Chains A and B, each alone.
Chain A
């Protein structure tokens, strides 16, 4: 079974609007972390945000927030006030503590911001 599932291969959002990118995960490890990375067309991987499985509050980093619903095993990324520079691939990833420091990635979502 897929450990990380991103069901939206591509999405459009109007500039200045908010957008939610979906991510569901599968693990039996009680201790894990969830990550979001951005990959612009230039190719580099940029870390955006992290959520630990025991964190009580949803993580936020500037315009990025992570909507963590543990019972549903979802970790959706919310980008507020979209900008043209947000157009990129977005990857959700998970680190399971019983698997060391390794990340398992989803297939990604391509976000396109319309002016």
Chain B
């Protein structure tokens, strides 16, 4: 693989269920990010990690958790999904200090 992969591509989920969105990068980037994209609002940062073992909250962290056990993986967990979490979720990565963030293809999540 080259770049960033996300899984699943799309998912329909019942409210109250737990869901983990997976993100893997093979570029050895130290920083990784999760964004959600909603119509008219652009992308908003949920959580980030500057390096393995550390995470931080972004603009809209409530209802989400992340972990960064190693450099390559940065899963996003919804402990108990709600309909307002229906969105497209993008994972991204970058080398610290670099200008460009590389984005994954996105996961379309629908919570009913």
Which residues of A are in contact with B by a Cβ distance under 8 Å? 4, 9, 33, 35, 37, 43-45, 47, 50, 52, 91, 93, 100-108
Contact B31 A105 (CB under 8 A): no
* Total A-B residue contacts, Cβ distance less than 8 Å: 55
Question: Nearest CB to that of B42 among chain A residues?
Answer: A105
Main secondary structure, interface of B, reads strand
Residues in B with CB closer than 8 Å to A43 are 88, 105-106
Is B41 among interface residues, defined by CB-CB distance under 8 A? yes
Residues in A with CB closer than 8 Å to B58 are 102
Contact B94 A107 (CB under 8 A): no
Question: Nearest CB to that of B41 among chain A residues?
Answer: A107
Q: How far is the CB of A13 from chain B (nearest CB, A)?
A: 21
Among B35, B42, B101, the residue within 8 A (CB) of A107 is B42
Among B31, B40, B90, the residue within 8 A (CB) of A45 is B90
Q: How far is the CB of B88 from chain A (nearest CB, A)?
A: 7
Contact A91 B100 (CB under 8 A): no
